[in-house]
């Protein structure tokens, strides 16, 4: 909980923190001035760690003479389109400030937001194709909504330049799992090969910073693009947790739906209880209450046999070793029920939760599935699954 972190923070020795910042900035500067123009891509989630990385990079660029600012830097933020509204609004405001700030400062920085393909959004898959609400055993959302959109952007830059350097706000102290992951893929050098993306080197400028040191730095230094970090501090305090970071491989997928309090997709049914949404509601964001109730309902109906088909979308029936049937996708009736309830929640919350294009795509998929059901009538095959 951030109010604990901020009010009970043990101030690191100033010399140690100053030295860490000095070394991090020196590392960033040295790598930026290498004799090549390989573009940098900063994975920006809007949370404290990626914010610190972005701040250190922008500060370093500002210290360089304009003639040395040759390497392009891309700030890439992923929008799943179902982010918690208070988080989505915060990230959007920060990206706008960064975009306006770097333009005014004449820095070679491009701000980009990635999103799922139109036919792979959360609602198109869940309501259109009938995919069951995500669970720990079937977490179909991470790859389609987080990994693929940003990976696609990175691959395009690799195709253009031959190689990219990805800067991530990864820290060993985040968790024991993160420390193991960092050590597994570290070669002892500043840059490491990404374990999934060819032509992508990974640079972790704050990997050895503690949580206290991250907050201490952000509390003491204003962002060079303007504004302050006050909103970020409030976000953590209200959300009672941490952000879901940029995810670019399935090894990082556990960052979504862990038992810790992370703010990310308001639709996440992988967690049993969404403590961050509960925190936002307690902090006064009343419009999140309808969203949390709807999310709880999605988790509740996930295993309702009356709302699930018997076969997968391929037409196959799948059985467990004990002979029991693995249910397929939501029935067409259940999908219509989900859409109707979602549109009612949208009306109550006063915020767009599903786009017109998504609704049109969903209805097209329904028509296709209904035709498939009609063509196989009498065979016991009602369509399929995920």
CATH number at residue 8: 3.40.50.620
In a domain, 265, yes or no: no
Average pLDDT on 54-58 reads 98
> Is the confidence at residue 15, as pLDDT, over 90?
no
In a domain, 380, yes or no: no
Q: What's residue 53's pLDDT?
A: 98
- CA–CA separation, 14 and 310 (whole Å): 63
Residues of the domain holding 149: 2-121+141-258
Average pLDDT on 83-105 reads 96
In a domain, 10, yes or no: yes
Q: What's residue 258's pLDDT?
A: 47
Q: Average per-residue pLDDT in the chain? A: 85
Nearest alpha carbon to residue 203 among 6, 343, 29: 29
Number of domains into which the chain is organized:
1
In a domain, 186, yes or no: yes
Structure tokens belonging to residue 126: 């869940």
Q: What's residue 248's pLDDT?
A: 62
Q: What's residue 40's pLDDT?
A: 98
> Is the confidence at residue 55, as pLDDT, over 70?
yes
> Is the confidence at residue 345, as pLDDT, over 90?
yes
In a domain, 199, yes or no: yes
In a domain, 29, yes or no: yes
| Alpha-carbon Rg for the chain in angstroms | 23
- The pLDDT tens digits for 237-292 are 888 655 555 566 655 554 454 444 456 799 999 988 888 888 888 888 888 899 99
Structure tokens belonging to residue 327: 């249910």
Block residue for tokens 């987080």: 146
In a domain, 334, yes or no: no
Buried b (16+ CB within 10 A) or exposed e, 42-70: bbbbbbbbbbbbbbbbbbbbeeeeeeebe
In a domain, 332, yes or no: no
């Amino acid at each position: 909980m951030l109010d604990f972190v901020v009010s009970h923070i043990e101030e690191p020795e100033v010399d140690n923190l100053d030295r860490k910042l000095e070394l991090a900035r020196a590392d960033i500067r040295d790598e930026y001035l290498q004799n090549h123009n390989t573009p940098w891509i900063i994975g920006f989630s809007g949370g404290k760690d990626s914010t610190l990385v972005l701040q250190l990079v922008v500060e370093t660029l500002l210290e360089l003479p304009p003639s040395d600012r040759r390497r392009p830097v891309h700030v890439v933020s992923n929008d799943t389109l179902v982010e918690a509204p208070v988080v989505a609004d915060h990230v959007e405001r920060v990206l706008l400030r960064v975009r306006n700030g770097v333009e005014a400062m004449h820095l070679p920085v491009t701000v980009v937001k990635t999103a799922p393909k139109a036919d792979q959004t959360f609602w198109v898959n869940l309501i259109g194709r009938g995919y069951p609400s995500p669970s720990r055993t079937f977490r179909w959302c991470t790859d389609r909504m987080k990994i693929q959109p940003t990976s696609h952007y990175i691959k395009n830059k690799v195709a253009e330049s031959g190689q990219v350097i990805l800067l991530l706000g990864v820290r060993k102290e985040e968790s024991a799992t993160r420390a193991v992951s960092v050590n597994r893929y570290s070669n002892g050098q500043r840059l490491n090969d990404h374990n999934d993306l060819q032509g992508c080197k990974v640079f972790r400028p704050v990997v050895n910073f503690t949580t206290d040191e991250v907050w201490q730095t952000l509390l003491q230094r204003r962002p060079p693009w303007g504004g302050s970090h006050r909103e970020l501090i409030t976000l953590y305090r209200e959300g009672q947790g941490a952000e879901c970071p940029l995810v670019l491989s399935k090894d990082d997928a556990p960052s979504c739906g862990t038992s810790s309090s992370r703010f990310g997709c308001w639709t996440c049914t992988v967690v049993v209880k969404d403590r961050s949404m509960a925190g936002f509601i307690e902090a006064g964001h009343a419009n999140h209450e309808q969203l949390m109730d709807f999310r709880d309902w999605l988790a509740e109906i996930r295993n309702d046999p009356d709302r699930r088909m018997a076969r997968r979308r391929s037409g196959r029936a799948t059985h467990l070793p004990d002979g029991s049937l693995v249910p397929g996708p939501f029935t067409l009736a259940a999908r219509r029920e989900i859409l109707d309830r979602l549109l009612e929640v949208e009306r109550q919350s006063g915020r767009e939760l599903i786009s017109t294009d998504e609704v049109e795509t969903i209805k097209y998929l329904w028509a296709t599935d209904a035709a498939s059901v009609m063509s196989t009538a009498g065979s016991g095959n009602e369509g399929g699954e995920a």
